[in-house]
């Protein structure tokens, strides 16, 4: 009876996203406390977790848990708003696990490798060095694949079912979401231009 509200596979998938969002939120709090302690006590976790790494995980976790929560919220709403099961729910489940695996690998690399050789290898395999969106380039591409699959599910469901005003707004908003994120993936040697683009990615 307690789980009777989980009447669709889409809502079940939504709870997966909400659960992982809560885990990442907990990580944000944990590494925020670690970074705060290191700011006051510089020797705290010396040669285990660098302050810059703790801060990086803390800040990036904020972005990640909000993305997971947003996707979960859409999957939760879709059956109620469209009157049908989400189209491509199997794809949605597969992409969820791809997304989770990518986040876990990225965090482990942050913790275990921490710094790289300061060349193209670092950008692709360790982190890009951009505040708030420091994931390595391979993870950037993976996030694009996951979000494009999510957008497909949203559009396919909206076109097949009863498209309410809420679903129409979500469809338009996801185009903006994808467009701005893709714009932030561009690379330039000009730090002013580069920071302008990632600022818009975060503050969209």
Evaluate whether 134 touches 204 at the Cβ level (below 8 Å).
no
The answer to whether residue 4 sits within a structural domain is no
**Predicted confidence band of residue 134 (pLDDT cuts 50, 70, 90):** confident
State residue 122 phi and psi, 5-degree precision. Answer: -65, -45
Q: What letter does residue 45 receive in the DSSP assignment?
A: T
Evaluate whether 136 touches 103 at the Cβ level (below 8 Å).
no
The answer to whether residue 3 sits within a structural domain is no
Q: pLDDT digit string (tens) for 52-63? A: 889 989 988 998
Rounded to the nearest 10 degrees, the angle between the axes of helix 89-112 and helix 137-160 is 160
Q: For position 24, what pLDDT does the model report? A: 96
CB atoms within 10 A of CB 101: 11
- CATH number of residue 44's parent domain: 1.20.210.10
pTM of the model: 0.85
The answer to whether residue 124 sits within a structural domain is yes
Q: What letter does residue 86 receive in the DSSP assignment?
A: P
The answer to whether residue 138 sits within a structural domain is yes
Q: How far apart, in whole angstroms, are the C-alpha atoms of residue 147 and residue 195? A: 23
Q: For position 152, what pLDDT does the model report? A: 94
- Using H for helix, E for strand and C for coil, what is the string for 86-111? CCCHHHHHHHHHHHHHHHHHHHHHHH
**Predicted confidence band of residue 144 (pLDDT cuts 50, 70, 90):** confident
Q: Range of 189's domain?
A: 9-203
Please give the tally of structural domains in the chain: 1
């Amino acid at each position: 009876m307690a789980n009777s509200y989980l009447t669709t596979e889409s809502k079940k998938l939504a709870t997966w996203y909400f659960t992982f969002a809560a885990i990442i939120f907990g990580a944000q709090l944990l590494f925020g406390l670690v970074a705060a302690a290191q700011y006051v006590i510089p020797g705290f976790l010396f040669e285990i977790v660098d302050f810059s790494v703790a801060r990086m995980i803390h800040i990036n976790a904020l972005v990640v848990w909000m993305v997971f929560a947003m996707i979960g919220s859409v999957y939760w709403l879709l059956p109620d708003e469209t009157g049908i099961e989400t189209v491509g729910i199997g794809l949605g489940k597969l992409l969820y696990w791809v997304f989770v695996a990518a986040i876990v690998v990225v965090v482990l690399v942050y913790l275990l490798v921490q710094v790289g050789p300061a060349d193209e290898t670092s950008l692709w395999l360790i982190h890009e060095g951009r505040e708030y969106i420091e994931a390595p380039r391979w993870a950037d591409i993976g996030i694009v694949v996951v979000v494009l699959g999510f957008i497909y599910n949203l559009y396919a469901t909206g076109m097949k079912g009863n498209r309410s005003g809420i679903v129409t707004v979500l469809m338009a908003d996801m185009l903006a979401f994808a467009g701005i994120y893709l714009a932030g993936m561009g690379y330039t040697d000009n730090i002013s231009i580069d920071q302008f683009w990632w600022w818009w990615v975060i503050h969209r």
